[in-house]
Amino acid sequence: MTTTDFSSAGANAPTNVVLAVENLHVEFAMPDGTNVRAVNGVSYQLNSGETLAIVGESGSGKSVTALSVLGLLRGGTIKRGKIIINGNDVLEMDPVERRKLLGSEIASIFQNPTSALNPLMKVGDQIVETLLVKNRDLTKREARKRVFSLLSAVGVPEPEVRANSFPHQFSGGMCQRVVIAIAIANEPRILIADEPTTAVDVTIQAQLLDLIEMAKLETGASTVLITHDLGVVAQAADRVAVMYGGRIVEYGDVFDIFERPSHPYTGALLGSMPRIDEDVENLEVIPGQPPDMTDLPVGCAFQPRCAVGKGRVLCGTTIPDYSNLPSGQGVACHYPLGEGIPPSLGDNQNA
């Protein structure tokens, strides 16, 4: 289970990989001496120009993975793994070099825009601050021009006036636009958006998703989109990684994942969503609770809630390896859906 090769899951050749996370393990030490293993061997590749969505419920490790990539992890330790950007493992790099690389190549958009901005600084100045990271010799006039064009690019009305406003004078949606302007200011190669639209209303969400997509097209950045909303995934992603219990349980093309989910968790998640576009008679329910990360179940973390694997000896003892299905999807499951194994067969059940 140590080596995971997802290169065949994507259509692009490995040379186009802008970010690769390999077998990442992150632990948090709790005050009572226990360890929370938040991320347990996550691997993924972000190909040039694509949007990779990482979906999962709270505690599944999706944000911790992103924070590790951004070098913003606080309180946790990266126990194992590699994070490769531009062919270099950033975890092995000299801290100064690493900061330079992360500052110029990666940008981030977080869930809460009002706390992402400095409340004591005019938004225009905050954008200038970012611009200066890449270009120390920027003149005042150039900086102003660039700020106005960025603000108008993200749809802030009257940028000349609004650049002199403070974040509290903006609505949540407008703040998130400013955050996006800061994120794209240095034309990063990688954009990490962690629940970028969770805090805003649905009409603003649609505007922001469009904006991120357009910013991506304009700067050519590849995007990692972290979300719990399968609607947002279907709308914005090219490829999807589904996380559960600190692992990626399914990985593949967005159309494949939604049409033919292979992992029982993905399937159940899709069945448990009420739909606005069709009548749902009965919502499927995933029983039980998400796993306690201090005390993960033995074997597959989803096994106690799984309609397929519950009670099966194999699922209750062995963590399933990732394997690539003929369809190109990667799945970590002993009994993937649609593989033709009737739930009653397989191995001896009823523990």
Partner 1 sequence: MLESSISVERDGGEVALDSLLSLENIKVAFPLKGKFPWSRESVRAVDGVSLRCEKGDVLGIVGESGCGKTTLANVIMRVLKPTEGRVLFEGEDHAKRTGTRTKELYRSLQMVFQDPFTSLNPVLSAGGNVMEPLRIQRVGNAQERRDRALKMMAEVGLRADQFNRKIAEFSGGQLQRIAIARALVLQPKLVVLDEPVSSLDVSIQAQVVNLLLRLQREFDLTYIFVSHDLAVVRYICNRVAVMYLGKIVEVGPANKILSQPSHPYTRALLDAIPIPDPHKRRPTGEAVLKGEVPSPLNPPNGCRFHPRCPWAQSVCATKSPEIRGLPGGNDHSFACHFPLGETDAIPDLENSKQRNKQ
* Chosen residue from 225, 232, 308, 315 binding partner 1 by CB under 8 A: 232
- Please tell me whether residue 268 binds partner 1 under the rule CB under 8 A: yes
- Please tell me whether residue 174 binds partner 1 under the rule CB under 8 A: yes
Query: Can you name the residues that pair with 226 across neighbouring β-strands?
Result: 54, 194
Number of residues that bind partner 1 (CB under 8 A): 49
Minimum distance from CB of 328 to partner 1 (Å)?
15
- Please tell me whether residue 269 binds partner 1 under the rule CB under 8 A: yes
Minimum distance from CB of 45 to partner 1 (Å)?
20
- Please tell me whether residue 279 binds partner 1 under the rule CB under 8 A: yes
* Chosen residue from 12, 16, 114, 207 binding partner 1 by CB under 8 A: 207
193 C-beta neighbours (distance < 10 Å), count = 27
* Chosen residue from 125, 129, 187, 213 binding partner 1 by CB under 8 A: 213
- Please tell me whether residue 339 binds partner 1 under the rule CB under 8 A: no
Q: How many CA atoms lie within 13 A of 305 on its CB side?
A: 22
Minimum distance from CB of 210 to partner 1 (Å)?
5
- Please tell me whether residue 161 binds partner 1 under the rule CB under 8 A: no
The nearer residue to partner 1, 148 or 302, going by C-beta atoms, is 302
Helices (H), ranges, the chain: 62-70, 95-105, 113-116, 123-134, 140-153, 159-162, 172-184, 202-219, 230-236, 254-259, 264-271, 313-317
d(C-alpha 3, C-alpha 44), whole Å: 11
* Chosen residue from 285, 298, 345, 351 binding partner 1 by CB under 8 A: 285
The pair of three-digit structure tokens given for residue 139, joined into one six-digit string: 């003149």
The nearer residue to partner 1, 145 or 275, going by C-beta atoms, is 275
- Please tell me whether residue 307 binds partner 1 under the rule CB under 8 A: no
Q: Residues 143, 195: contact at Cβ < 8 Å? A: no
d(C-alpha 224, C-alpha 19), whole Å: 10
The pair of three-digit structure tokens given for residue 185, joined into one six-digit string: 């200011």
Count of residues making up the chain: 351
Strands across the sheet containing 35-47: 35-47, 17-29, 76-85, 88-89
Q: How many CA atoms lie within 13 A of 73 on its CB side?
A: 23
Element (H, E) at 223: strand 222-227
Minimum distance from CB of 36 to partner 1 (Å)?
15
The nearer residue to partner 1, 22 or 256, going by C-beta atoms, is 256
- Please tell me whether residue 286 binds partner 1 under the rule CB under 8 A: yes
- Please tell me whether residue 205 binds partner 1 under the rule CB under 8 A: yes
List interacting residues with partner 1 (CB under 8 A).
57-58, 171, 173-174, 201-207, 209-210, 213-214, 228-237, 254-255, 258, 268-270, 272-277, 279-280, 282-287, 289-290, 305
